[in-house]
Structure 1
Amino acid sequence: MKKRAVGYCRISTLMQVDNTSLKDQEDKIKMYCKLHDIEIDKMFIDKAVSGKSADRPQYDKMINFVKENDIDMIIVYKNDRIHRSLYNLLAMIYELQEYEVALVSVTELFDTSNPQGMLFLQMLGSFAEFERAIINERTRNGRIARLNENKWVGGKPSLGYKVNKNGKFEIEEEEAKIVKDIFKLRSKGVSLAKIGTKYGFSKQKVDYILKNKNYIGVFEYDGKKEKNKINFNIEPIVSKYMWDKVNTTKK
């Protein structure tokens, strides 16, 4: 009787350099099944998501599918296509052992239905975690280097600012007018709620704008990973006098 399997493919924007497109992964999985006389029940494909992300709808559907059907194995092109974290990878395998479902990697030639495959998997998983740690370290160092050059490191800049092609802050004039008006209204005693109503902002957003030191030319960054507390100067939108005045106003 043929063994039954499902295939899982994943690619993220971070992994384009791997030369492991979704079609490549799917073709390799199908070829493996043909060579080993394995029947593929279904292919599950997640596009442009992270290996560490919990938001992988096809992955979740696959796990439920193999639990509810008589499936012998999950087949992947490479183990880091399904999990980049060794901890998460092993947790999944141990969970699926209860259903007698093995994990098979086409390129790494292991099968977790046997002890040798489990040992090899742990070794490969350790290398995958090490590789990810190196990538994170390079990303961290690159972010710090950009900050030390007074450059933006990503995300959306504060209202009133834009980032030019060189990664430097510039004032966005139309938005800056809104920021200046918010400070002006608040300095005259207008409530956060009324200011917010004028521009379609919540009270919390107005309060955040008023407390944002970017507007007096101070950019502060203390990343969760970096803990570097980098400060640098950008072009101010309001005066320090105005910023101090509205921030001593009673709510």
Structure 2
Amino acid sequence: MRLGYARVSKSDGQDTAAQVAALRDAGVERLFEEHASGGRWDRPELHRLLDQLRPGDVVVVWKLDRLSRSLIDLLRIIEKIEGRGAGFQSLTEAIDTTTPAGRMMMQMVGSFAEFEREMIRQRTRAGLDRARREGRIGGRRPKLNPRQRREVVEMVSSGRKTAADAARLFGVHPSTVGRLLKTS
């Protein structure tokens, strides 16, 4: 069965008429229409379509960006479609995963997405390394300064306060005091 998915953004005042006509001309038997942003994952009609897929079905969209605005999300959706034993077809971009050429095209798109993710990872790593060289350390700031940490350890170690009492006194969680005691 050929299942069509048409989507327009709510805020743009668009309608799905052109998409619906193109999908009907392409032989779509069942149509799912959505008025939601392509950047959102909570799209009920898309989820209904994915839930109803059977082996041998083909999901048809007018353009790739109607399925998702993000390349990574697009690949996840196509992976779900293929995981159900179904195919995918985009009319405008002439991509059809039911053919060898279409599967190759999607693999190339996937390779570009993987390359993009790796480039982001490398830039993030380089930024963190530069920040460390400049003396900046990531993560949350410590709740207690060095003097307070020494004081907590001394109070609990000497028996003047319990760990829970010291935590209440300094306004921290008892696990913070526990970590301090382990490292001292």
Q: Distance in 2 between matches of 1:94 and 1:188?
A: 64
Secondary structure of the corresponding residue to residue 72 of structure 2: coil
Distance 1:198 1:206, change over 3 A: same
Contiguous gaps of at least 5 residues in structure 1? 10-21, 49-55, 161-174, 213-246
Identity of matched residues, %: 20
1:159 aligns with 2:143: yes
* Structure-1-length-normalised TM-score: 0.49
Q: Which whole-Å deviations, capped at 9, do the CAs of 1:130-186 have from their partners, x for residues lacking one?
A: 121111111111110111111134x422214xxxxxxxxxxxxxx788656534523
User: What amino acid sits opposite 1:182 in the alignment?
Assistant: V
Look up the match of 1:208: 179
Contiguous gaps of at least 5 residues in structure 2? none
Bigger share in helix: 2
Secondary structure of the corresponding residue to residue 84 of structure 2: helix
Q: Distance in 2 between matches of 1:208 and 1:36?
A: 61
Distance 1:84 1:33, change over 3 A: same
Secondary structure of the corresponding residue to residue 32 of structure 2: strand
Kindly report which structure 2 residues correspond to 1:4-19, keeping only aligned pairs within 5 A, or say none: 4-6=3-5
Bigger share in strand: 1
User: What amino acid sits opposite 1:144 in the alignment?
Assistant: D
Q: Distance in 1 between matches of 2:118 and 2:104?
A: 22
Look up the match of 1:121: 106
Look up the match of 1:41: 32
Higher mean C-alpha deviation, range 77-86 or range 130-139 = 77-86
Secondary structure of the corresponding residue to residue 83 of structure 1: helix
Look up the match of 1:103: 88
Aligned length: 173
- The offset of 1:68, in angstroms, is 3.0
* Structure-2-length-normalised TM-score: 0.63
User: What amino acid sits opposite 1:35 in the alignment?
Assistant: A
Kindly report which structure 2 residues correspond to 1:43-192, keeping only aligned pairs within 5 A, or say none: 43=34, 45=37, 58=42, 62-63=46-47, 65-68=49-52, 72-73=58-59, 75=61, 76-77=64-65, 81=70, 83=72, 91-97=79-85, 100=86, 102-105=87-90, 108-153=93-138, 155-160=139-144, 179=149, 181-189=151-159, 190-192=161-163
